[in-house]
Structure formats: C-alpha cells, structure tokens
Amino acid sequence: LSKGQNSLSDKNERFSSAGFILAAIGSAAGLGNIWKFPYITGKYGGAAFFLLFIVCLLLVGLPVLLAELALGRAGRGSAASAMVKVGGHPIWGKMSIMFVIVPFVILSFYAIVGGWTLHYAVEAFSGSLFSNKDFAGQFASFSSGYAPLVWLLVVFAFTSIVVTLGVSNGIEKFNKILIPAKVILLLVLMVNALMLPGSGAGVSFFLNPDFSKLSIESALVALGHAFFSLSLGMGIMVTYGAYVDRRQSLGGAMLAVGGGDLIYAFIAGMIIFPTTFSFGINPAQGPSLVFIALPAAFSAMPFGAFFGGLFFVLLAVAALGSMVSLLEVPVAYVMERFRWSRVRSVIVVSILCLLLGIPSALSMGLVPELKVGDKSFFDFVDFTASNIFLPLGGLLIVIFTGYYWKTAGEHANLKPFWFRVWLFGLRYVAPVLMLLVFLHTSGIIKF
Ligand code: PHE
C-alpha cells in the first residue's frame, strides 16, 4: 500500500479490541439517544414505544450492525470500496458512494446541534442561562445570531484534531476518556432526576407499557430510530470494522455495542422523563425539549445550574463521539481514493463540510429565507439524509450481504445456528422492514 492509504500495517490505523468497542459505542450513543429518543418516546407511546424500540434493535439493528462490521473487516478499505473489495460488481461500488456522502452531509448539521450543546453547557455553568427565565426567547435569540457559527467552528476544530491524530492515537484514545465520563455523568444525572418530587410518574410513563398507544407509525419510527441510534446505514460501522483485528469476535462486538446503546438510551429516559414529569413539562414537544423545556426544569431544581451544566456537558460529549465517527468515514475515503495523508484529508473534508454547514446554521435564524420548499435548509438537509438516504443505505447493506456476498458467513464467523438466524434476518426480515421505513419516512406512504 502506498503512503497515505489506509494501511493496517500502520499501527495507528488500527483499533485495539476494547478501543474498537468503545469507539463504536461512542458513535452510537450520541445526541440521538438523549435529544431525539425521549421526545419520540414521549410522542409515540411511552413505555410501549420503548419496548418496540428494543424489539427493533434486536430484530433489525443487530443483524445490520454485524453485516456492516463484517463487511468493513473483510474489505479493509473505505466504506465506498468495501463491497467491491469483497468481490461485488463495480456497480455496488458506485452505489456505495452514498455511504461517504451521507455521513458528510449529516455531519454538516449534526455539528450545529453539537455547537448549541457546548454553548448551553457554558451558559449553564456560568449561571447566565438561568438569569432570564424566558428559555424559548433565549433559544430564539441565540440561534438567530452569529454565535452558533462560532460554536460550529469550535466543535469542528475539536473533531478534526481527534481524527487527524488517527484511529488509535485519536479516535480510540478520545473514546477511552469519553465513555467513562459519559457513564459518570449519566449516573449522577439519573440519581438526581429520580430524587425529584413526582419523578415516579415519569418512570411509570417510561417503563409501564400501554400497548393501546401503539400504531403502525410508532413501529416504523421505532425502527428508524433503532437504525439511527446504532449509527447504521452510513458506512460508519463499515469504516470502523476495517480497523478491527481478525481475532476480534464480531458477534461479541455486536452485542456489546447494541447493549451499550440500549443502556444509554434507558438511562437517558430515566433522566428525561422523571425530570419532565416532575416539572409538569410535556415530553413530546419535539426537538426543542432539550433546549427550552429542560432548562426550565433545571432552573427550578436545587443546584440546577450545576446539574443543568452537567447535562449539557453530557450532550456535548455525546455529540463529539458521534461527530468523530461521522468525519472518519469521508476522511478514510479520501485517503484511499486520492492517496492523501490523513492530515490533508481531514483539512479538506472538514472545510467542505463546514461550508455546507453554514447555510444550515444560517437558515435556523439569521437568514430564514434559506429554504427548500417549505422546509428550512437545515430541516431539508436533515430530512433528506436521515429519512431518505439512511434507510436506502441500510437496504443496500442488507441486500448485498444477504443475497450477493457469498462468503459473508466466514467473515462474520458465527456458529452455524446463529449464522442461519442472521442470514434469515438479513434476507427476509430486514429488507421488508427497511423498505417500509423508507416509504414511510420519505413520505411516500402514510399510515
Ligand atoms: N447514533 C447517533 C446517536 O444516537 C447518531 C448518529 C447517527 C451518529 C448517524 C452518527 C451517525 O446520536
């Protein structure tokens, strides 16, 4: 391999076994679990929705996760070349360019929300967030100024530095600090939330299922979120899989990552629902829940500035773990395709991605005219990437692995029984469900 290519002989381009699992959990357990999961759970049925989410994680999430990891390790290249490297027709290579473009696009707006969380952490600790109780007004005036652009730059700079340091010295080391920090923050915040007066109603909403609240729509939302939550369908796990040792058990890694993601979602729910119920806040109010409703709760609780600050640090840390994985996918591709060094690839990709992020950030405030149809540019980019291309990417993976990749079994290295279960899931269960999710999220069919 030439210089600059993703060479596994270069020690820095490889994960240790534990480092790989931590990095994959760091990507999965991101903002989605703590910012999006609670409000969709609030909206689509509480505990019953949470159970559905677990079923989707097991039924579709885990098999697809394993498929991505196995494909990555067998292909040992970027997400765009893996299918061809394991013997697929070049047409698969053309289609899998999607795996590089989608994370790039997602990063451009995910980073904006990451920047908000950092701003809120600073404001909460400094006390200025709570000095004015009009939280909706504060959010509106913050997001319509220039500050989000500055925070966008800050989170980008940080993410780029981690990725520039490489797989082992950057991504792995960063996650080894980040995951324990996340666990401590989650536990402290959960204990605090459970001690609030009236928190029991929140726990029961989250854990006591009422199946009459479910609908086909909630099932599809649960499935889509299981997918998003495990960072599937966009080449992340394919890219990370390429840095994994032959001896690593991928089945074990799949369980560890799926379990880690689920526990994280569970604790996030055990923070958000007790808090919102204790303060009479509706948990289903959508994306603004975390930035508008929760500050109100923090401001009213004892030591609210401290716990509020910790909460936003948790969000920021979660965002950064996912951002690092999102950036690594296009960087690995550029390194392989153009044989550039890691540093050069990171600089070019980051600048392009930042440029794409600017109209999204502006469309949220300063320049509301930036619209596509009736959606702000931000919402348009989010919608197209998350609701259209993500499920399509998932379909591509399951069809390739289930039907075309003949040696998938050897690479996944499962016991014969589990291999048959996996293949059945990939061939018959996942494609049908993914197709339904795609038709639903893209708005082609309505339930
Ligand atoms: N899995 C991440 C989360 O739950 C979101 C994410 C999606 C991250 C796609 C990277 C890529 O927040």
pLDDT above 70 as % of the chain: 98
Phi-psi region of 88 (alpha: psi -120 to 50; beta: other; left: phi over 0): beta
Our answer on whether the CB atom of 434 is closer than 6 Å to any ligand 1 atom is no
Question: Where in the sequence is the domain holding 409, given as residue range(s)?
Answer: 11-441
Q: How far is CA 149 from CA 320, 348, 358, 434, in A?
A: 16, 19, 7, 35
| Cβ–Cβ under 8 Å, residues 321 and 27 | yes
Q: What is the DSSP string of 344-371?
A: HHHHHHHHHHHHHHHHHHHHTTT-TT-E
Which 8-state DSSP code applies to residue 88? -
In-domain check, residue 72: yes
Structure tokens at 341: 């060094």
| Ligand 1 atom closest to Cα of residue 103 | 11
- pLDDT classification of 398: cutoffs 50, 70, 90: very high
Q: How far is the CA of 28 from the centre of ligand 1 (A)?
A: 5
- Would 40 be classed as within a structural domain? yes
Handedness of CA 168, 174, 177, 179 (dihedral sign): negative
The model scores a pTM over 0.80: yes
Task: Name residue, tokens 């204990």.
Answer: 191
| Domain-embedded: residue 174 | yes
- The verdict on residue 3 lying in a domain is no
Average pLDDT score, the chain: 91
Does residue 359 form part of some domain?
Answer: yes
pLDDT of residue 288: 74
Please write the tens of the pLDDT for every residue from 178-189: 999 999 999 999
Q: Ligand 1 centroid to 253 CA: how many Å?
A: 18
Please report the atom of ligand 1 found closest to the CA of residue 390: 9
C-alpha to C-alpha distances, 81 to 18, 72, 96, 309, nearest whole angstrom: 26, 9, 7, 42
User: Assign residue 198 a region: left if phi > 0, alpha if psi is -120 to 50, beta otherwise?
Assistant: left
What is the widest separation between alpha-carbon atoms in the chain? 62
Instruction: For 105-123, write each residue's pLDDT tens digit.
Output: 999 989 999 999 999 999 9
Instruction: Out of 100-114, 276-290, 296-310, pick the least confident.
Output: 276-290
> How far away, in angstroms, is 30 Cα from ligand 1 center?
5
Contact 99, 112 (CB under 8 A): no
CA 380 to chain centre: 18
Q: What is the mean pLDDT of residues 189-197?
A: 94
Question: Quick one: pLDDT at residue 7?
Answer: 54
6 is a domain residue: no
What pLDDT, in 10s, does the model give residues 308-329? Answer: 999 999 999 999 999 999 999 9
- Is 236's C-beta closer than 6 angstroms to any atom of ligand 1? yes
- Residue 4 is predicted with a pLDDT of 45
Give the DSSP H/E element, type plus range, for residue 375: strand 375-376
Atom of ligand 1 nearest to the CA of 318: 12
Q: Which of 158-162, 218-222, 224-228 has the highest mean pLDDT?
A: 158-162
How many Å apart are CA 78 and CA 249, to the nearest integer?
Answer: 21
301 has a pLDDT exceeding 60: yes
Look up residue 208 and give its two tokens: 């006591």
Does the pLDDT of residue 285 top 80, yes or no? no
Residue 138's closest CA among 339, 299, 344, 22?
A: 299
Predicted local distance difference test score (pLDDT) of residue 48: 94
- Please give the structure tokens belonging to residue 145: 């100024």
Q: Is residue 251 part of a domain?
A: yes
Q: Which of 102, 71, 115 is nearest to 411 (CA)?
A: 71
Residue 133 pLDDT > 50, yes or no?
yes
Average pLDDT over residues 351-370: 87
Is the pLDDT assigned to residue 1 strictly greater than 50? no
Handedness of CA 192, 195, 200, 201 (dihedral sign): negative
Number of domains in the chain: 1
**For residue 4, is it within any domain?**
no
pLDDT surpasses 50 at 3: no
Question: Six-digit token pair at 269?
Answer: 């729910």
Measured CA to CA, the distance from residue 133 to residue 300 in angstroms comes to 10
pLDDT at 381: 85
- Amino acid identity of residue 379, one-letter, is D
Determine the pLDDT at residue 9: 54
Residue 443 CA to ligand 1 center (angstroms) comes to 22
What's 428's domain CATH number?
1.20.1740
Which candidate, 321, 262, 318, places its Cα nearest to that of 290? 318
At 68 the pLDDT is 97
- Measure CA of the first residue to CA of the last residue in the chain; give whole Å: 51
Of 301, 217, 235, give the one whose Cα is nearest residue 40: 217
Neighbours of 292 (CB within 10 A): 19
The per-residue pLDDT for range 69-81, each reduced to its tens digit, is 999 999 999 999 9
Whole-number pLDDT of residue 366: 79
pLDDT digits (tens, 9 = 90+) for 41-91: 988 989 999 999 999 999 999 999 999 999 999 999 999 999 999 999 999
